[in-house]
C-alpha cells in the first residue's frame, strides 16, 4: 500500500515527466496540522499548467485521492495554481511567482525529500 509520501513523490515524478521545472517535495507534516507535503513545480505557460493539471487529475482517479480545492492566485491563472489534495498540496507556479513567494524559504524548516 502506498504511503502519502509515496504519492507525493509519484506526483512529483509526473510533474517532471510533464516537463515541470525545479520540482521540489517538502515534508511539512511536523510544522502544521492541515497538510503533510508540498509539491512545488515551475510551469512555463497556462497551457503547460493545464497539461500538468490533467496529469494530476488522472493520478487522483487512479490512486484514491480527491481534490479538496483548486485555487488560482491571479486573475488569469498563469502565476500560481494550487491543487489541495488534503495531505498533499501541489503548487504550479510561474518562475516570477515562485521567485517572489519563495515557498522553500518560507517553509525552510520542512524536510526537502526531492
pLDDT tens by residue, 46-67:
899 899 999 999 999 999 888 8
pLDDT at 114: 76
- Tell me the residue range of the domain where 99 lies: 4-109
Is residue 114 in a domain? no
Q: How confident is the model at residue 78 (pLDDT cuts 50, 70, 90)?
A: low
Number of helices and strands in the chain (H, E): 4, 6
* pLDDT of 36: 96
Residue 74 pLDDT class (50, 70, 90 cuts): low
> Residue 43: which CATH number?
3.30.460.10
CA–CA gap between residue 83 and residue 29 (Å, rounded): 17
Residue 7 has pLDDT above 90, yes or no: yes
What is the residue whose three cell numbers read 508540498?
38
* Structural domains in the chain (count): 1
2 and 63 in contact (C-beta within 8 Å)?
yes
Q: What is the pTM of this model?
A: 0.90
Q: Is 72 within the bounds of a domain?
A: yes
89 burial via Cβ count (<10 Å: 0-12, 13-18, 19+): buried
Amino acid at each position: 500500500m502506498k504511503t502519502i509520501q509515496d504519492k507525493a513523490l509519484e506526483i512529483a515524478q509526473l510533474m517532471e515527466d510533464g516537463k515541470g521545472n525545479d520540482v521540489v517535495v517538502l515534508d511539512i507534516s511536523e510544522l502544521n496540522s492541515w497538510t503533510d507535503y508540498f509539491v512545488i513545480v515551475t510551469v512555463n505557460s497556462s497551457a503547460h499548467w493545464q497539461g500538468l493539471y490533467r496529469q494530476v487529475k488522472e493520478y487522483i482517479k487512479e490512486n484514491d485521492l480527491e481534490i479538496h480545492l483548486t485555487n488560482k492566485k491571479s486573475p488569469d491563472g498563469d502565476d500560481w495554481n494550487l491543487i489541495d489534495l488534503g495531505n498533499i498540496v501541489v503548487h504550479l507556479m510561474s518562475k516570477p511567482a515562485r521567485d517572489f513567494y519563495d515557498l522553500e524559504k518560507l517553509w525552510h524548516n520542512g524536510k526537502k525529500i526531492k
